[in-house]
Structure 1
Amino acid sequence: MNESTVRALSGIVYIALLLGATLYSPISFVILFGIFMLIAITEFCRLVNLNYPLPLILGAASLGLFTFVIPNNDLSANLSLCIGSIFIASLLLEELFSQRPSAQKNSTVKYAQLFGYVIFPFILIVKLPITTTYGTESGSGIIPYLPQIVIGAFTIIWTNDTFAYIIGKSIGKHKLFERISPKKTIEGFLGGMAFAIAAAYILSLYYKNFSPLQWMVSAVILVIFGTLGDLVESKFKRVAGVKDSGSIMPGHGGILDRLDSIIFAIPFLFLYYQIISYVS
């Protein structure tokens, strides 16, 4: 079986698993992304040389605490997760664009990055379809489970990735950030953005929790910060001297390789949804 076939089959299984678990029930969704989070933790620990029994325990405990103990609509807890993630994201971006050689990190910095870059974003993904109540009728006081929010976000990310690759490969001439990712081009970035916004508008015709404008703003947030997230993970791999974060998905690499865009963008998207829910 050639590499392209393996890659295609692996991608189909991944998409089917993600969509199936997300649509089936909140429990299957939480279980799947909990497993994804634990795999991502092991991959991150390998990238930064961090012993991972303790990080796995901390990740599982944090997911349990914020999902099953602290109420999902606890605004202060949700904002704390967002702020913590965005703070670490800002430090990673500063390091990404810095011309200085990457400094050796101590355990404290590695654990801070583990929480802000991996654990908190995965918890926010789990919370996204449960705490996003804007545009829904919830007079009973029961917070609805809205899988379309997650499916919409992944559809936008996949659309952007697909068309950024196609357009970049066909007409891309100007490098986006050659030092870290030589294949990414400005033309690919802009083309992916345009198609992602178009996909967001189409989603708004079927998923009416948000207006067309709000779906399209979501696309802009996901494309900009998703692209930055891809570059940040490329920087981690470059420093570690590896091609992929893992090998769990034949032809695609690891879970971090597949979810690097969404986990970096999700705190910004989650915060945007909280803002429009608050001001509505």
Structure 2
Amino acid sequence: MKELIVRTLSGVLYISIVIISMFTSHEWFMGLFFILSIITLSEFLKLVHLKSYLAYALLAGLLYFFSYSIFDINAVNLLLILCCFVNLFLLKDVLWVSKIPMFQKKKYVAIILYLISGFVFLTLIPVYNESFIPEIIGGVFILIWFNDSFAYIVGKNFGKRKLLERISPNKTVEGFIGGLVGAILAGFLIFKCLEIYKPELTVEFTLIIWVIMAVIASVFGTIGDLIQSKFKRQAGVKDSGILMPGHGGLYDRLDSIIFASPFIYAFLQIAYYVS
């Protein structure tokens, strides 16, 4: 019971800080996620046994020039393509390789095109059409949170068939399906709330857009969690850090959205230009 209370309190504090920063201003949002990205990067560097000041400089530079003050949209699109390619390559390694090669030989590839780029596109999601829309990134976080919560509840109570036991013994097929249903439910609720409080947003962000984003967040968020589990398994640790009592490190909390954010951003770009 004590562990549940600690876990709940730290989770509520984390969610409150994230949501408040989103709806304060673009600068506050970028400032908070710059801090979160620094902490997450430090946890990741420990996992891959690398000490590098260059990684922090690359993080600051990419976040500034590719997200906060975009110097060239074509460069952003190129980074997006490379990021999605590396993420899919990591998925291949999770499914068919005993050890992730990037973990061993190409650490900077993973640092730049997986972790740092994940934060770049996470912070680009609310400004995908050049204006800051906090409801969009807030909605994406809610999709991820609903997916994780429903996956945990359904998996714990009804899970029988393992999803990928050699990587994450606790994940089940039933839990994954429950998470997917939870994310879609969240997409429906977000759309209905926007109909009441921000009806102008529902013209572009229709129900089908939210449902598709829910599916992307659920599928790629789960893959991101599995990839992080494999990184931790190779490093021989249970959690990426101890910053959040009951949860582990920030990387443990953000792994899903870091991996899913480039694919969500790509979908938003396609939907925007098609519409």
**Which TM-score bucket, shorter chain as reference?**
over 0.9
Give the whole-Å Cα distance in 2 for the aligned partners of 1:129 and 1:101.
35
Given that 2:99 and 2:234 are in contact with CA atoms closer than 8 Å, whether structure 1 keeps it comes out as no
Identity %: 44
SS in 2 for 1:183: strand
Residue 99 of structure 1: CA displacement? 4.2
Q: Is the aligned partner of 1:127 residue 2:118?
A: no
Distance 2:144 2:60 in 1: 26
SS in 1 for 2:171: strand
- The letter for the 1-side match of 2:45 is C
Amino acid at match of 1:43: E
Does the CA-based 8 Å contact 2:30-2:68 persist in structure 1?
no
Look up the match of 1:144: 131
The corresponding residue for 1:264 is: 259
Ranges in structure 1 where 5+ consecutive residues have no aligned partner: 134-142
* 8 Å contact kept, 1:245–1:253: yes
Contact persistence 1:41–1:52 (CA under 8 A): no
Equivalent position of 1:15 in the other structure:
15
Q: Which residue of 2 aligns with 1:221?
A: 216
Q: 2:4 aligns to what?
A: 4
TM-score normalised to the size of structure 2?
Answer: 0.92
**1:75 positional shift:** 3.6
Runs (4+) of structure 1 exceeding 4 A deviation are 101-104
5+ residue gaps in structure 2?
195-201
Match of 1:247 among 220, 242, 251: 242
**Root-mean-square deviation (Å):** 1.5
| From 160, 170, 173, the counterpart of 1:173 | 160
Q: Tell me the distance in 2 between the aligned counterparts of 1:100 and 1:159.
A: 31
Q: Secondary structure at the match of 1:24?
A: coil
SS at match of 1:149: helix
Contact between 1:42 and 1:52, CA under 8 Å: does it hold in 2?
A: no
Report the CA distance shift for 1:184/1:127 in structure 2 as closer, same or farther (over 3 A): same
Measure the CA separation in 2 of the matches of 1:212 and 1:43: 37
Instruction: Flag the 1:99–1:67 CA change in 2: closer, same or farther, 3 A.
Output: closer
Opposite residue 172 of structure 1, the aligned amino acid is G
Tell me the equivalent position of 1:96.
94
Aligned length: 266
* Deviation for aligned residue 1:49: 0.9
Q: Is the 8 A contact 1:7 1:252 kept in 2?
A: yes
Residue 66 of structure 1 deviates from its aligned partner by: 1.6
- Report the equivalent of 1:66: 66
**Equivalent in 159, 168, 172 of residue 146 of structure 2:** 159
Residues 101/57 of structure 1: CA separation in 2 closer, same or farther (3 Å cut):
closer
Residue in structure 1 matching 2:75, options 49, 74, 77: 77
The residue aligned with 1:138 is none
2:47 aligned residue: 47
Deviation at 1:156, TM superposition (A): 0.7
Distance 1:99 1:41, change over 3 A: closer
